[in-house]
Structure 1
């Protein structure tokens, strides 16, 4: 019988040196990208390794660690042989090829020759997320958040109370032992309220508070007290959508690694329940995030996986948005032909009109959004005049109800106009963005506007209009 007693991994701790666990986790993620791996490493994972809780890493982490420390073996890093590990650290060959597994205890292979990592050409399986590798049990307990401090239903007493610009909203998730209609409805209401406030105010002031109902929703899932399948499925879907909404707030407020984690969690939840709609949504947002963080190839892969998940759902608008996500990724790769093809598919699907199968979260996706996403493609390809034409059209079409998007579209237009050499029009549009930033708190929009300012600054001396805008922007930055 193998002992389950754990011992600290002192060798691994020495390798970390003076870096914090978070800094070392960031180095692991960078090393993973260097060799084409995707691991969701964070400080918590490093702590579990150093405490001895993880006695042997999964295959993805093994490749990353051996890349980080050339010439070292797993034993040199303080890990136990794979064949000696029982439980979560080792699984059967069949299990190791599954994209997502629920937390469980599985016996290790009895033979010393552990199976090698599954190849892309192995037996068909659902597409692997660019955020979650096929070996994810050490990375992410599917129904437990990294920052959850308790799995009991008492966490469901958390509430969301927001007050921005005179707009107040409160969503409570009541605590009780059995999860029913009231709890599921509260989760769904939290999703709608967060989206409404984001449309009007942006993500900066909302993200931390919005994490409260997310923790509560996953605590309800973790309690496992619902006896009705329909209720459980709605709760999973609601929690997943909530994770995506909170992930978007993180994305919009510049917390990109947090956003990545939330999207990965939503994807894992979708895979557990076989929820294609949630899976498509998670891939859609993951693709957008990857594009914004310079991971263009990952953006394309995520968009393609989202399209595969969405195909049976019968929503042309969803397919159009996912095609636009693919186009954005291809533009980032400099693939003009691939981008144009994806844009063509997006326009064709969008032209088929609305459908009863369109997801509720897609209410923002109108012609204005189509235009601005195309503008971003052309700007990534350096076709600034064409980008400005589409961005200008987007600002004219946008519903003023979506205040954050109106500011976003004008920030995009300001940048495109500046690069296109239309500096005075860019300055005038930049003033309109600043008018909206009293209501909208979005690091993403401020970053976009700062990029336009950098282009306009060398031109400021020759134009009163440009100088006024640059001075106002500098003053607004001082007050922020």
Structure 2
């Protein structure tokens, strides 16, 4: 499931990451420090919960919180609540935008990649903006790229890695990333090893950096797809650095486009829009209609989540117009999925967010008919959303049919996000359990979705 909004507050994150304590335990710590300092304060679990949902503590409480987290007065000076709270250990964020810094960041992310941080905060606001700004303005540094030690890597090995990346991308479309993540991280570790230990020429280095970006992006997407949001963002950030070091700005834009999906999915549409706009700025004059269409469609989803119907419509129209220009020789290989059915699917999702279920159903129907059977996860996601659109139009029977079709496919894909969508589709039908078709569906769902 997606993280509760309370766990995206810096206090919740600091409490979990730094102290590893509950709201009640933090309240007790604050009362204890208050007693030591002869300050009468009645902080409770409810008080901490309110802080983590946006209410600002008074100055007395903030002073005690600073003591607990060992934040000095000097560190707090001029920094508003809650930005002075410790943000957890993300050393890769502070690495320089150089090849050595990128390798160090990959090392850190790979070491921490197996940790399940489902309940933890993802970066947003100022820290995220700083990452985007650094990516946008820092010139790629390849001058010291050939400083590796050891034997040369053969061109055939680089080609073999590229082929496996292509296979993994297609496998993810079909099976989801729940199991594939282990192979993706192993391959990313191999690429990192070659970058760190082998003597490479500039062309090989650029290709391997690009492969690290592709694999980091895939790992981030698979982590996100299975609810591991902080781990996903760390992979996306490492992928963005690798794309930057490769000198491939379009690849970096692709990383940001996938990271934007994560942000608008967990309730941060403004950050998602910022990410896409940054990507659009970076690729201007160097892109292709296909890549521009992909970015416009992603931006439309963020705008729909934000409730901006007019701007969303403009972005969708632009995406459809750009796709109408057809493919281009310079289209990157990773853009294979940017086709009319995908934009129709995204359009349907935008219409659903904007409470236009009839329009959503029309786009879902057209797109679903055009998608090939190999896109199993995509079919599961949009059949579930189709059911929502149908139910909002009071067509319970059609919603049951769509949900049953999603259940049929869900057993063939390992994707937490897909499973969550199916569960939500089933849940929304429960108020209609007196109808035979719904009753049968609910009985079936007990064995499929558990």
- How far off its partner does 1:308 sit? 2.1
Decide whether the 8 Å contact of 2:423 with 2:449 is kept in 1. Answer: no
Residues 19/323 of structure 1: CA separation in 2 closer, same or farther (3 Å cut)? closer
Name whichever structure is richer in helix by fraction: 2
What is the count of residue pairs matched by the alignment?
358
Tell me, in whole angstroms, the C-alpha distance in 1 between the residues paired with 2:208 and 2:332.
16
C-alpha distance after superposition, 1:338-387 (max 9, x if no partner): 11111111111011111112221122222211111011111111212211
- How far off its partner does 1:132 sit? 2.4
- How far off its partner does 1:22 sit? 8.4
For residues 304-383 of structure 1, the aligned pairs below 5 Å read: 304-383=277-356
Tell me, in whole angstroms, the C-alpha distance in 2 between the residues paired with 1:459 and 1:429.
15
Give the aligned partner of residue 194 of structure 2.
220
C-alpha distance after superposition, 1:427-456 (max 9, x if no partner): 101111111122111111111122222221
C-alpha distance after superposition, 1:129-163 (max 9, x if no partner): 64826689xxxxx99xxxxxxxx99xxxxxxxxxx
Q: Which of 409-418 and 193-202 deviates more?
A: 409-418
Task: Pick one of 67, 78, 81 that aligns with 1:67.
Answer: 81
Decide whether the 8 Å contact of 1:457 with 1:470 is kept in 2. Answer: yes
Tell me, in whole angstroms, the C-alpha distance in 1 between the residues paired with 2:306 and 2:414.
30
Give the aligned partner of residue 200 of structure 1.
174
C-alpha distance after superposition, 1:100-124 (max 9, x if no partner): 45657xxxxxxxxxxxxxxxxxxxx
Tell me, in whole angstroms, the C-alpha distance in 2 between the residues paired with 1:319 and 1:339.
15
Q: 3-state SS of the aligned residue for 2:284?
A: helix
For residues 165-244 of structure 1, the aligned pairs below 5 Å read: 177-223=151-197, 225-226=199-200, 228-244=201-217
Q: Which has the higher contact order (CA 8 A, sep 6+)?
A: 2
Tell me, in whole angstroms, the C-alpha distance in 2 between the residues paired with 1:351 and 1:17.
48
Decide whether the 8 Å contact of 2:293 with 2:320 is kept in 1. Answer: yes
Tell me, in whole angstroms, the C-alpha distance in 2 between the residues paired with 1:20 and 1:284.
28
Residues 18/268 of structure 1: CA separation in 2 closer, same or farther (3 Å cut)? closer
Q: 3-state SS of the aligned residue for 1:190?
A: helix
Residues 358/131 of structure 1: CA separation in 2 closer, same or farther (3 Å cut)? farther
Decide whether the 8 Å contact of 1:187 with 1:239 is kept in 2. Answer: no
Residues 231/18 of structure 1: CA separation in 2 closer, same or farther (3 Å cut)? closer
Give the aligned partner of residue 263 of structure 1.
236
Q: 3-state SS of the aligned residue for 2:81?
A: helix
1:410 aligns with 2:383: yes
For residues 112-127 of structure 1, the aligned pairs below 5 Å read: none
Q: TM-score, normalised by structure 1?
A: 0.66
CA RMSD of aligned residues (A): 3.9
- How far off its partner does 1:222 sit? 2.1
Give the aligned partner of residue 474 of structure 1.
446
C-alpha distance after superposition, 1:43-73 (max 9, x if no partner): xxxxxx99xxxx99xxxx9899863487x9x
Tell me, in whole angstroms, the C-alpha distance in 1 between the residues paired with 2:393 and 2:374.
29
Decide whether the 8 Å contact of 2:400 with 2:437 is kept in 1. Answer: yes
Tell me, in whole angstroms, the C-alpha distance in 2 between the residues paired with 1:271 and 1:211.
20
1:249 aligns with 2:222: yes
- How far off its partner does 1:270 sit? 2.1
Q: 3-state SS of the aligned residue for 2:267?
A: coil
Give the aligned partner of residue 132 of structure 1.
131
1:457 aligns with 2:430: yes
Give the aligned partner of residue 406 of structure 2.
433
Decide whether the 8 Å contact of 1:283 with 1:306 is kept in 2. Answer: yes
Task: Pick one of 271, 274, 297 that aligns with 1:301.
Answer: 274
Decide whether the 8 Å contact of 2:419 with 2:449 is kept in 1. Answer: no
Q: 3-state SS of the aligned residue for 1:183?
A: helix
Q: Which of 426-435 and 313-322 deviates more?
A: 313-322
Tell me, in whole angstroms, the C-alpha distance in 2 between the residues paired with 1:281 and 1:18.
33
Residues 129/315 of structure 1: CA separation in 2 closer, same or farther (3 Å cut)? farther
Task: Pick one of 369, 389, 402 that aligns with 1:396.
Answer: 369
Structure 1 residues not aligned, in runs of 5+? 1-15, 36-48, 78-87, 89-95, 105-127, 137-141, 144-151, 154-175
- How far off its partner does 1:99 sit? 8.9
Q: 3-state SS of the aligned residue for 2:330?
A: coil
C-alpha distance after superposition, 1:174-218 (max 9, x if no partner): xx7323313322331231121121121112222233211111111
Residues 343/309 of structure 1: CA separation in 2 closer, same or farther (3 Å cut)? same
